[in-house]
Amino acid sequence: MKSGVWHQLGDKSQLVAYEQLENGVGVGVAVSARDLSYSGAEEHTAKYRALGAEIIFDPQYYLPAYSNNKLETYPFSSLRLSAQRLGKITDDNLSVLAKSLEEINRKTGSIAIVAPAIIYEANRPDILSINKKLHAAAKKAGDALGIPTFGTVILGSSTNKTTDQINSCLADILDIKADGWYYSFEFGDERIPSTHAEVYRCAVAGLTLAQTGRPVFHAYAGPMALLAPAFGCIAAGVGHSQNIWQFKRERWEPPQGQGGGGDAPSRYFSKDLWGTIVYPDEFTAMPVALRNRILCASPYTAALTSAGDSPLKRWDSNKHLIHTIATAVQPIFAQRTARLAAAQAIAILDVAIKTHADIAVTGLGLADKTSSYQYNWKLALEALVAQHKDGFDYLELIR
């Protein structure tokens, strides 16, 4: 698996990923079964591969009873069942699933099978048993294609209240003989995770998976991709939409209400903020010197100046966000050790903390509460490095 930032596909992101790859941004694409039909997946992945990108296909079994028009186009759609029914799945059905995964991953040109898996929950041995069966079916597909099989580890909120709870859960999961890990962590309802303890536990779990010596892909990382190399991940998935900036089970639940969100103003993602600012309203409300610090170049914002007099289209702001995160994080994945990656991430966070402090002096409060997480992310990384010296030492020995 190529190391670095991957495009995590979501709603209306297929062409965005293609454009980014054309500009040399991103090393691979994680395909979303929820958001792309089977024929669409085959069509788009051929284009991505032609640009040198690697592909993995995420079957998204997290809440397996959920389906939509896109998911129904895949050959395993009849096997999207409730956990109760999956607990009674027959060997014949598992063979059908294996053949389906083999066919899909052959047609998409995947470099590894991502095994279907339900979200892990505390005190649910039945889920562990189901996921082992699903992984075994995926392994048959991987072996038939001659490619690795990644175990999917989505730690639901009930599993991650304490590090002891996480360690207990992972001890069982690591019995699965996976060739790599497709990992994500369910946080609370915040737009971007900001609780020091939760971010630390997410990092501890990632580091534990990395110590198996198998590659870890941090799925649904979003802006937290900055932290992923520091806890041993070799890749992270980034997309423009906020609902894939962290794992959100709501994406695989029946929609509530009418949705929407209105015509919200564009958000400008700044490396020096490591977050977003409402453009142009908040941007022009601060001193020119601060505006100049916040601006960071990309092909999508080349016309912007500190005057804030150029428009920023919504899709340009989305593309700029991916470009900015990816170009900042890709060099961190290239660091020789996870410790060095942590130091580089902390250096970026230090700049963001200082920039937010300077904004606070002006009396301007940012609508997105962008300043709420950088300091806690720094604390989490510092605690990880200080408290898990043996884990970092071991990673350096096996890599």
Residue 226 shares a structural domain with residue 328: no
Q: What is the mean pLDDT of the chain?
A: 96
- Residue 22 resides in a domain: yes
Residue 293 shares a structural domain with residue 373: yes
Residue 32 shares a structural domain with residue 179: yes
pLDDT of residue 262: 56
- Residue 48 resides in a domain: yes
DSSP 8-state assignment for residue 245: S
Residue 213 shares a structural domain with residue 313: no
Query: How do residues 162-180 score in pLDDT, each as one tens digit?
Result: 999 999 999 999 999 899 9
Query: How do residues 91-120 score in pLDDT, each as one tens digit?
Result: 999 999 999 999 999 999 999 999 999 999
- Residue 203 resides in a domain: yes
Query: What is the pLDDT averaged over residues 153-161?
Result: 96
Exposed / middle / buried, residue 265 (Cβ in 10 Å: 0-12, 13-18, 19+): middle
pLDDT of residue 375: 98
- Residue 158 resides in a domain: yes
Q: Domain boundary at 252, 285, 303, which? A: 252
CA distance 295 to 303: 11
Query: How do residues 194-218 score in pLDDT, each as one tens digit?
Result: 999 999 999 999 999 999 999 999 9
Residue 271 shares a structural domain with residue 162: no
Q: Domain boundary at 252, 279, 302, which? A: 252
- Residue 258 resides in a domain: no
Residue 80 shares a structural domain with residue 219: yes
Q: Domain boundary at 224, 252, 280, which? A: 252
Residue 30 shares a structural domain with residue 167: yes
CATH number for the domain spanning 8: value is 3.20.20.70
- Residue 397 resides in a domain: no
Cβ–Cβ under 8 Å, residues 185 and 205: yes
Domain limits at 371? 267-390
Q: How many domains does the chain have?
A: 2
pLDDT of residue 180: 98
Residue 308 shares a structural domain with residue 216: no
What are φ and ψ of residue 9, in 5° steps? -70, 145
Specify the DSSP element, H or E, that contains 387.
helix 374-387
What are φ and ψ of residue 335, in 5° steps? -60, 145
- Residue 395 resides in a domain: no
pLDDT of residue 254: 76
Residue 113 shares a structural domain with residue 230: yes
pLDDT of residue 78: 95
Residue 224 shares a structural domain with residue 272: no
22 is written with which tokens? 């054309």
Determine what percent of the chain falls in helix, strand and coil, rounding each to the nearest 5.
50, 10, 40
Selected residue with higher pLDDT from 188 and 255: 188
Residue 290 shares a structural domain with residue 220: no
- Residue 248 resides in a domain: yes
Residue 244 shares a structural domain with residue 273: no
**Angle between helix 338-361 and helix 389-398 axes, rounded to 10 deg:** 130
Buried/exposed code over 218-247 (b: 16+ C-beta within 10 A; e: otherwise): bbbbbbbbbbbbbbbbbbbbbbbbbebbbb
119 is written with which tokens? 């979200």
